[in-house]
């Protein structure tokens, strides 16, 4: 029985994932979006749990879909 290890990604990987957004884009999500996953620190470097980001994406897409359907 093998248990999958959590996957963490860096700020650079997040910026690339969301279309080469700026560092400030991440800072704004952290400050302004209470649903955006909080970073985990490994030493001085920030990482995000990939599964948490994927959940945030699904919730955001569902909210946007509900808003356009109304």
User: In the beta sheet, which residues pair with residue 35?
Assistant: none
Task: Please give the residue that has the higher pLDDT: either 34 or 63.
Answer: 34
What pLDDT does 64 receive? Answer: 82
Is the pLDDT at 43 greater than 90? The verdict is yes
First to last CA, the chain: 46
Among 66, 4, 14, 3, residue whose Cα is nearest residue 37: 14
Rounded average pLDDT over 39-67: 92
The first and second tokens of residue 38, run together, are: 């909080």
Task: Please give the residue that has the higher pLDDT: either 33 or 63.
Answer: 33
Residues in the chain: 70
For residue 17, the 8-state DSSP code is H
Rounded average pLDDT over 46-61: 96
Confidence of residue 69 (pLDDT cuts 50, 70, 90): low
């Amino acid at each position: 029985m093998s248990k999958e290890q959590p996957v963490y990604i860096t700020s650079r990987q997040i910026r690339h994932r969301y279309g080469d957004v700026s560092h400030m884009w991440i800072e704004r999500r952290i400050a302004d979006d209470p649903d955006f996953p909080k970073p985990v620190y490994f030493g001085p470097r920030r990482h995000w749990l990939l599964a948490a980001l994927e959940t945030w994406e699904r919730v955001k897409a569902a909210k946007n879909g509900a808003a356009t359907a109304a």
